[in-house]
Structure 1
């Protein structure tokens, strides 16, 4: 279990039981087999290249060519989960020995109770602090640079992020460039858009208090933003970026509007599906010649699988409830937990095509403004840009591992007992389409976002640099020209459903 993961008694028994399965016994146990009367329908976990088979790969002979990976690592922030835990944040900084803290937030969250508790907690412990409340939703490189300049001038010894993924990601980058004050902005940005240099030393303490249930950024070492001149999203990913502590307080997500619940939850959905279906860690190349070069996104592995699949099931069960009933606090709490579970899963396994294709979709927005977002500028929320291609993507990737895609379809309630393997992609795509339509107010393809066939070349070229995630995509060609044609076909197919 990732160090520090503590779930309050108010969390569901099912989630606690699942997390405990990470502490494998011998022989390995299966949650469903703890019930002797349980019968699998269709491909079981023990017959598929899923959890059980992934475990068996630990005994796979070492690749003598020394090209493929042979190991995986697990890294996640310490997590504290429970209603009301935000009030402990001042004590946390005192325990860390912090003397000078920057609270990072945005103009909307600055007015909410989570920020009031942050002020009270730090003041109560006598900790000096200042507030940066100019974080931009869906950050741009220039908004990140403004935040970095503020942090360098203040000279903090710790950071507190209170807000959604945009806030937490901005705080991560403020922390990074304060710790490396002489670095060029592109030094650590993912290659080929940046230099992709490794982060060579631990950063300052960062405590993250999420107020949305989506990104899982409170537990990952990833920070995403728009590189404006390239018209593409990119980011920085390294284990040292992950927060020291994530404080997951379900009381803080009750202020989310339904549209934000929906788009944030769709990010959880795709985090879990993409990490569940990513290439296995032992197929990733090249094998690093030094462990510091092992990427945060490693491919599916037997520990990430546990977190990713439970996050998928929870999202299918609770997201529609959280969107349709603002007073369904159980569903909202479960979605916050699902976001964190998915963060542990994809933060180590990685995501692939839905996210890789989403970055130019957001970055090349032609003026679309998603309903329910109280901002004046055009916006395609991250979760919307990711989910709009999901039916197409999983129809494409299914041939790589039909059993695993069928298991995903089963999580949506599909009876897969009579489904043939060659139909796995279509079955999962149909289940996703139905889920998105039932959720309401979701664009049914790229045309609904304002794109047409004339935009495909730009979308493809904006996707190709996303090597960090494309390398984890099943069925994607190794040569660039074939890959370009595959991406063109995917964008064409995603125009409408």
Structure 2
């Protein structure tokens, strides 16, 4: 007997803008249909194994032996290669007799070209395991090298996010990858995302798949003590925006269409009950530790707290996603002219990722708050604001001012104009944002090109 079609009604979001929105889903028990488009009613929790603690890096040699590693590729950058985090890894590998080869040519803020150089390096070797020691640039480069070493026939754009690339799903397993993060920001040790500057477009894009997630993340807070002050600040702003964006993202059950096969379910699904837990907790830790971690490099408690906050925010946004701050940040970083960020030992113009993200955040949260004001107010409250007498209509302004206060107190550049942009650059920045639909479509409020132009204009000066 054929099953009857069931109609199931789901509540969306409890905030005023969404509370009236209920949807009917046509559900065929036990089947998916390519011809039936309905909203997401399922979300998936995915995360790398994480091991945390002071000195945990010493265990990596044993982990590699336990994995049966015979030939390890250790990736880092030239600056880190001389610092204690890499030395600690090498000592452990040597102690436990693990054979390895070091690739130290990772570019800070990698490009498609630098990804390809790393990929060519590993394709010529017979590595069975990967180790990434560094920040997001190193970990993301290692993810990409692992992916293409395991898919030797693939063209580079095959797995790159659409519409820039073909966005093909990754169907096979990759080699084990152990990530040892040395910054407290990207959360790349927890996620299935690898981001790079696509040079032709002058904007960032990436590869997103749960298959990219590291096998293990060894989070050793001692490594964060080596971060320069501005690196600690910009990394911390990335944590802040990861948490704020994932917490305010479009709810997962307002996404459509539902994937016809689980393999096509995106890593970034929209805010959901599990990601909310991690985002809230990350915000609490940012509120407590960020300013301390920046102002006092020897504050082990604060630096450790931000390292853990990065993990928590990574788990949150790795399953929920980010939205406009990140989408708009990609052309900001990609079109940099002459600005060289303080605290970064690089030989090329650089707007660090966390800085490019946070400079638009006051404008973004002012814009998105009308769709879910309670969430924006809750975030502001977690960050230390008394919101008891604040009207819902002022939620965006309150959260924006809260973020601005963080930036002002930590002496952040005064908007996009301070890093070399003017209003004449806005059309180029908008053009670079439009292809970032993987993240921008997660914004809780729909937006036009004119809206994006206005957001960039509002971000030219902050104080």
TM range, smaller chain: over 0.9
1:490 alignment partner in structure 2: 455
Query: Is the CA contact (8 Å cut-off) linking 2:284 and 2:383 kept in structure 1?
Result: yes
In structure 1, the partner of 2:125 is 154
Aligned to 1:231: 202
Aligned to 2:388: 417
Contact persistence 1:63–1:70 (CA under 8 A): no
Separation in structure 2 between the aligned mates of residue 424 and residue 119 of structure 1, nearest angstrom: 49
Contact 2:203 2:335 in 1 (8 A): yes
Q: Which residue of 1 aligns with 2:33?
A: none
Q: What is residue 174 of structure 2 aligned with on the other side?
A: 203
- Structure 2 unmatched ranges of 5 or more: 1-12, 28-35
Q: What is the CA–CA distance in structure 2 between the aligned matches of 1:60 and 1:92, rounded to whole Å? A: 48
2:250 aligned residue = 279
Partner of 1:429: 400
1:450 aligns with 2:420: yes
Match of 2:393, SS state, is helix
In the alignment, which residue of structure 2 is the partner of 1:264? 235
Displacement of 1:372 after TM fit? Answer: 2.1
Match of 1:301 in 2: 272
C-alpha separation in 2, matches of 1:496 and 1:223: 30
| Contact map agreement 2:108 2:346 (CA 8 A) in 1 | no
CA deviations 1:327-346 (Å, max 9, x no partner) are: 10000000000000000000
Q: Distance in 2 between matches of 1:386 and 1:240?
A: 26
| Superimposed CA distance per residue, residues 137-180 of structure 1 (whole angstroms, 9 cap, x where no aligned partner) | 00011111000011011120010000111000000000000000
CA distance in 2, matches of 1:401, 1:162: 39
Alpha-carbon offset, residue 74 of structure 1: 0.5
SS at match of 1:186: helix
Offset from partner CA, 1:439-470 (integer Å, 9 cap, x none): 12x11211111111110000000000001001
Between the aligned partners of 2:266 and 2:240, the Cα distance in structure 1 is 23
Provide the rounded CA distance (Å) in 2 between the counterparts of 1:460 and 1:229.
Answer: 16
1:342 has 2:313 as partner: yes
- Match of 2:375? 404
Is the Cα contact below 8 Å between 1:318 and 1:334 reproduced in 2? yes
Name the structure 2 match of 1:387: 358
Preserved contact between residue 262 and residue 319 of structure 1 (Cα < 8 Å): yes
Shift of 1:49: 3.9
Once the two structures are TM-superposed, the CA of residue 61 in structure 1 deviates from its matched residue by 6.3
1:68 equivalent among 39, 42, 48: 39
Contact residue 100 and residue 158 of structure 1 kept, 8 A: yes
Partner Cα distance (1:83, 1:62) in 2: 49
Unaligned runs of 5+ in 1: 1-47, 478-482
Alignment correspondent of 2:3: none
Instruction: Give me the whole-angstrom Cα distance separating, in 2, the residues matched to 1:63 and 1:470.
Output: 27
CA drift at 1:60: 8.4
Where 1:254 maps in the other structure, the secondary structure is helix
Equivalent pairs counted in the alignment come to 439
What is the TM-score normalised by the length of structure 1? Answer: 0.86
- CA offsets, 1:332-378, max 9 Å, x none? 00000000000000000000000000000000011111122222321
Q: Are 1:79 and 2:50 matched, yes or no? A: yes
Contact 2:37–2:256 (Cα < 8 Å) also in 1: no
Work out the CA distance in 1 between the residues paired with 2:125 and 2:349: 32
Q: Measure the CA separation in 1 of the matches of 2:63 and 2:83.
A: 20
Q: Any conservation in 1 of the 2:25–2:38 contact (CA below 8 Å)?
A: no
Quote how far apart the aligned CAs of 1:63 are.
5.4
Give the SS at the match of 2:277. Answer: helix
CA contact 2:184–2:232 (8 Å) conserved in 1: yes
Q: What's the CA shift string for 1:217-245, capped at 9, x where partnerless?
A: 00100000011011110000000000000
RMSD: 1.6
- 1:476–1:486 CA contact under 8 A, matched in 2: no
Matches within 5 A, 1:163-242: 163-242=134-213
1:327 matched to 2:298: yes
Looking at structure 2, the residues matched to 491 and 179 of structure 1 have their Cα atoms a distance apart, in angstroms, of 40
Instruction: Say which of 431, 444, 455 aligns to 1:474.
Output: 444
Over residues 386-412 of structure 1, what are the superposed CA-to-partner deviations in whole Å (9 max), with x where a residue is unaligned? Answer: 000000000000001000000011112
* Secondary structure in structure 1 of the residue aligned to 2:205: strand
Q: Does 1:463 align with 2:433?
A: yes
Alpha-carbon distance, 1:117 to partner? 1.9
